[in-house]
Amino acid sequence: MLGIFSLEFLLVIAAFVFWLWMIVDCVAKEPSGSSTKVVWLLVIIFLHVLGAFLYFFIRRPERIRETGQ
């Protein structure tokens, strides 16, 4: 199916939204003043969707256990 609602287009949009969500999550909820925040933000930005998935599955659960957010 061609057009704006093709499966590929929807996957790209979903990946972009997930990537942005992980950037916002990292900036807003990682503890301030730690190098962890900067390192994970760089991982998310430079590795794009792969970095967002790494943050989501590795760091985010750890942060939630540590800080509750």
Extents of the domains making up the chain: 7-64
Question: Is a pLDDT exceeding 80 seen at residue 3?
Answer: no
Confidence label for 2 from pLDDT (cuts 50, 70 and 90):
low
- Please state the pTM of the whole predicted model: 0.86
State the Cα–Cα distance between residues 2 and 14, nearest whole angstrom. 18
Average the pLDDT over each of 8-12, 21-25, 32-36 and give the range with the smallest value. Answer: 32-36
Of all residues in the chain, what percent carry a pLDDT higher than 70? 94
Per DSSP, 31 falls in state: P
